[in-house]
Chain A
Amino acid sequence: MAPFLLVLGLFFLFLDLKHKLFFWRLYTTIRLESPMSWGAWVLMVITPLSFLWSASYLKELVPTWRWRWKFLERLEGLVIRYRTPIAWVMILYSLILGIYTGILLSAFNARPLWNTALLGPLFLVSGLSTGAATIMWMSKIHLERRLFTRIDLILIGIELFLIIHLFMGFLAGPEVQIEAASLFLNGRYALPFWGLVVVMGMVLPFFLEVLELRGKKIPAAIPAILILAGGLIFRIIMVEAGEATRYLY
């Protein structure tokens, strides 16, 4: 599923470009200072890798599958042989990818809300948490579910910590960041953020997961969906509110 979601994401990114015919320009240069350039290149690398990775499992899932061409069979062999290093590369890149949105936003000087180093880790943790939630939901293996539920509990804890930290940083910052924080503390984003993202998307699933670990029967989908929805709303709100914060006017 991962490669297709990645491609879908790429497609949406492409849709968002206003000068589409020139998208290839992304790949004529590497700009170390530009998060967007990092993102483009990381996607460039990880997308085919994830295809290869998934393809290498195709025979396990569909035992009758045969590759049409010889070289593909050979390629599959290679991939299977180097699964471990490829996995490491992919983990590295997915970390970059996970942190990318946050870094991208935090690189925008103009948006006081985004312009903080905590945003990258926060997006990464939030992304990992939603990933863990997906596995909790989809996995059929009990042990795996328990493992990821535990991981997710830790991630949610870190996330809450980072959010508190983020706002403490804002409040100790320059005026524009104090204004940005006030959007969340008593402004128009206060309710959706604290209600939907923090309570519904983190605290509530946190308790549900704890209960589940203690043996209570709770459908795996409920905390997972809450976390996924929370993660999505978190991103929407951060982007929207960020655009509302500015230096001038």
Chain B
Amino acid sequence: MRYAMAIDTKKCVGCSDCVIACQIENEVPVGYCRDWVTETVHGSYPMLELELRSERCNHCDNPPCVRCCPTGASHVVEGGVVLVTPNKCIGCGACIESCPYEARYSHPDGHVDKCTFCIHRIRKGLQPACVAVCPTRCMYFGDLDDPSSEVSEMLRTRKYKVLAPEAGTKPQVYYLV
């Protein structure tokens, strides 16, 4: 099993519903977030390209954060989901520095926090909160090892990219372009 997310940049309007849905679902304190929207503009007026991306932890296949963690608080569970166990985390920040995606933040309670792919929802057979709320339905979540999953289907039929592939982390959030 290999959980992954595919996000269609052709449809995303950058509304940030994914951000607020995550904040509410996961009780992320106001002022912090586990996912966010970035905007990149290429070209110059009037030949322009704009890409909006909902970003989050990439649940890398080769997660530097897990390697760096001195206590095992950062660990990998089923489907390659990278989690942090708050009461094992000493807040050393090594994982924050090791993440090329800046997906981790220091929770005001002291431990490090990040996207969990809403594993508590996945385990109940639900979609992650961001995916479930997205008005443009531009996000797909599922198991890459299952060829019939929506996300497998998307990666089979569409062009895609990942962020900072040169960092060697093998990220599992794919952007359909």
Is there a contact between chains A and B in the complex with CB atoms less than 8 Å apart?
Answer: yes
Query: Which residue in chain A gives the minimum CB-CB distance to B38?
Result: A249
**Bound state CA distance, A97 and B92, in angstroms?**
17
**Bound state CA distance, A35 and B166, in angstroms?**
22
Q: Per a CB cutoff under 8 Å, which of B73, B94, B168 touches A25?
A: B73
Query: Contact between A17 and B164 (Cβ–Cβ < 8 Å)?
Result: no
Residues from chain B with Cβ under 8 Å of A111 in the complex? 97-98
Q: How many A-B residue pairs have CB under 8 A?
A: 114
Residues from chain A with Cβ under 8 Å of B166 in the complex? 174, 176, 247
**Bound state CA distance, A3 and B160, in angstroms?**
55
- Contact pattern, A 39-52, Cβ under 8 Å of B = 1, otherwise 0: 11000000000000
Residues from chain A with Cβ under 8 Å of B13 in the complex? none
The answer to whether the Cβ of B64 comes within 8 Å of any Cβ in the partner chain is yes
* Given the contacts A19-B111, A20-B110, A26 and B69 also touching, CB distance less than 8 Å: no
Query: Contact between A110 and B38 (Cβ–Cβ < 8 Å)?
Result: no
Residues from chain A with Cβ under 8 Å of B97 in the complex? 108, 110-111, 243
Query: Contact between B110 and A109 (Cβ–Cβ < 8 Å)?
Result: no
Query: Which residue in chain A gives the minimum CB-CB distance to B69?
Result: A34
**Count of chain B residues near A, Cβ 8 A:** 35
Query: Contact between B88 and A108 (Cβ–Cβ < 8 Å)?
Result: no
The answer to whether the Cβ of A235 comes within 8 Å of any Cβ in the partner chain is no
**Which of B68, B109, B164 gathers the greatest number of chain A CB atoms within 10 Å?**
B68
Query: Contact between B100 and A110 (Cβ–Cβ < 8 Å)?
Result: yes
- Contact pattern, A 8-19, Cβ under 8 Å of B = 1, otherwise 0: 000000001111
* Given the contacts A18-B93, A248-B163, A37 and B169 also touching, CB distance less than 8 Å: no
Query: Contact between B100 and A247 (Cβ–Cβ < 8 Å)?
Result: yes
Query: Which residue in chain A gives the minimum CB-CB distance to B99?
Result: A110
**Bound state CA distance, A40 and B92, in angstroms?**
11
List which B68-126 residues lie within 8 A (CB) of chain A: 68-73, 86-94, 97-102, 106, 109-112
Residues from chain B with Cβ under 8 Å of A247 in the complex? 100-101, 163-164, 166-167
The answer to whether the Cβ of A64 comes within 8 Å of any Cβ in the partner chain is no
Query: Contact between A109 and B100 (Cβ–Cβ < 8 Å)?
Result: yes
The answer to whether the Cβ of B67 comes within 8 Å of any Cβ in the partner chain is yes
Query: Contact between A248 and B71 (Cβ–Cβ < 8 Å)?
Result: no
**Bound state CA distance, A33 and B64, in angstroms?**
10
* Given the contacts A18-B91, A108-B98, A31 and B164 also touching, CB distance less than 8 Å: no
Query: Contact between B67 and A20 (Cβ–Cβ < 8 Å)?
Result: no
**Which of B98, B102, B111, B163 gathers the greatest number of chain A CB atoms within 10 Å?**
B98
Query: How far is the CB of A33 from the nearest CB of chain B, in Å?
Result: 4
Q: Per a CB cutoff under 8 Å, which of A19, A28, A39, A246 touches B100?
A: A246
**Bound state CA distance, A16 and B89, in angstroms?**
13
Query: Which residue in chain B gives the minimum CB-CB distance to A104?
Result: B94
Residues from chain B with Cβ under 8 Å of A22 in the complex? 71, 87-91, 110-111
Query: Which residue in chain A gives the minimum CB-CB distance to B106?
Result: A18
Query: How far is the CB of A19 from the nearest CB of chain B, in Å?
Result: 3
Query: Contact between B169 and A36 (Cβ–Cβ < 8 Å)?
Result: no
Query: Contact between A31 and B167 (Cβ–Cβ < 8 Å)?
Result: no
Query: Which residue in chain B gives the minimum CB-CB distance to A242?
Result: B97
Query: Contact between B68 and A34 (Cβ–Cβ < 8 Å)?
Result: yes
Kindly list 14 other residue pairs between chains A and B, CB separation below 8 angstroms, not including A17-B92, A19-B109, A22-B71. Answer: A16-B92, A20-B91, A21-B110, A22-B88, A25-B88, A31-B70, A35-B68, A109-B99, A109-B100, A110-B99, A174-B166, A247-B166, A248-B101, A248-B163
16 contacts between A and B (CB under 8 A): A16-B93, A22-B110, A22-B111, A31-B69, A33-B67, A35-B68, A36-B70, A108-B64, A109-B169, A110-B98, A110-B101, A176-B166, A246-B102, A247-B100, A247-B101, A248-B164
